[in-house]
Amino acid sequence: MNGIQNSDEVNERKKNVAALSVISNSVLVIFKLIAGISIGSIGIISEAIHSGIDLIASGIAFLSVKKSGRPPDECHAYGHGKYEDISGMVEALLIFAAAGIILWEALQKLVFGGEPISEEFLAVGIVVMLISACANWFVSSKLFEVADATGSIALESDGWHLRTDVYTSLGVFAGLILIKITGLEIIDPLIAVGISLIIIHTAYGLVKRSFWDLTDKSLPPEDTQEIESIILQNCGESCSYTRVRTRRSGPDRHVEFDLIVPPDMDVASAHALTEKIEDHFYRHYGRVYVTIHIEPDN
């Protein structure tokens, strides 16, 4: 038997926080570009590039959570959850692209040098980086909160985009202060190199998580234990289970198992038992597909 619980309220909450990320990144890209070009700082410009990639990723996340929130239809009987997994993979690849651009620009400046940093606008860059870090911390916290509550890989990926931006913005912030104190402009591209390495590390984790979901990797052992506990709570001593199979599709969990019932149990009683188990899963997980195959005990 199959079933799924889909909440319009949850989907709306996901779309709202994804839209907040898009708006926040749009504003930050503009401010960082203005500050970076005015100062001539590769660190700030690399941060603008990073935020630009974040903006694209936020747009992808917004579209994917909007699509994944649609109920099952004739063409997608198991829902649209995979759209979020694809989004997570694309976002991770975009993070790699951002890291490559930043690393290239930083190495270019280290090897060949570049325009000197403008002391006149240095304070502006410091303020912009601090504002960026604070704004992205707030938005990423909201994204993580909703991602954790809904199991959304798209929002989690977007959250890590912005949380990485927090750390890199703080790095540039610290670097600009050091430049102001010491006058050593080489600090600027060195920080940009460090930023790129942090971004690569984040991207690797997201690629791995998205790849697992796209290839239908089983849920973690702690989830499987929880699922088996729910089955046992409802089975009683007269029934048992076997062949538990699990996977994730975006925010959706898929659970399949064989329920072994006494050979003299009638169809109506077996049906009532499966509905009881399914209802428990829906209350516990929210978005979950449950497939139960009834087998008589030999």
Contact 230, 263 (CB under 8 A): no
Q: What is the DSSP letter of 77?
A: T
Across 102-106, average pLDDT: 77
Q: Which residue has the higher pLDDT, 164 or 5?
A: 164
| Res. 5: pLDDT tops 50 | no
| pLDDT-derived band at 6, boundaries 50, 70, 90 | very low
Contact 91, 61 (CB under 8 A): yes
- Buried (b) or exposed (e) across 48-73, using 16+ Cβ within 10 A? bbbbbbbbbbbbbbbebbbbbbeebe
At residue 138, the pLDDT reads 92
Query: Burial of 195 by CB count in 10 Å (0-12 exposed, 13-18 middle, 19+ buried)?
Result: buried
Hey, what are 90's tokens? 């694309």
At residue 36, the pLDDT reads 78
Residue-averaged pLDDT of the chain: 79
- Structural domains for the chain: 8-214 (1.20.1510.10), 221-296 (3.30.70.1350)
Q: What is the pTM of this model?
A: 0.61
Query: Burial of 74 by CB count in 10 Å (0-12 exposed, 13-18 middle, 19+ buried)?
Result: exposed
Q: What is the DSSP letter of 186?
A: T
Q: pLDDT, tens digit, for every residue of 124-153?
A: 778 888 888 898 899 889 888 888 877 777
Alpha-carbon distance of 163 to 158, in angstroms, equals 9
Q: pLDDT, tens digit, for every residue of 188-244?
A: 778 778 877 877 887 787 788 778 777 778 888 888 888 888 888 888 777 888 888
Residue 255 phi/psi, 5° resolution?
-125, 125
Q: Which residues, in sequence order, are bridge partners of residue 294?
A: 259
| pLDDT-derived band at 115, boundaries 50, 70, 90 | low
Q: Which residues contact 24 (CB under 8 A, 6 or more apart)?
A: 58, 135, 136, 139, 162
DSSP strand pairing (252-261 vs 240-249): antiparallel
Hey, what are 49's tokens? 């590039």
Count the neighbouring beta carbons within 10 Å of the beta carbon of residue 35: 24
| CA 288 remoteness from chain centre | 19
Q: pLDDT, tens digit, for every residue of 27-37?
A: 888 888 888 77
At residue 4, the pLDDT reads 40
The fraction of the chain above a pLDDT of 90, given in percent, is 3
At residue 113, the pLDDT reads 67
Rg (CA), the chain: 24
At residue 155, the pLDDT reads 81
* DSSP-H helix ranges across 151-250: 153-182, 187-214, 221-235
At residue 2, the pLDDT reads 42
Count the neighbouring beta carbons within 10 Å of the beta carbon of residue 197: 11
The fraction of the chain above a pLDDT of 70, given in percent, is 92
Count the neighbouring beta carbons within 10 Å of the beta carbon of residue 97: 15
CA distances from 295 to 53, 244, 291 (A): 52, 13, 13
| Res. 179: pLDDT tops 60 | yes
Across 241-270, average pLDDT: 86
3-state SS, residue 298? coil
At residue 118, the pLDDT reads 65
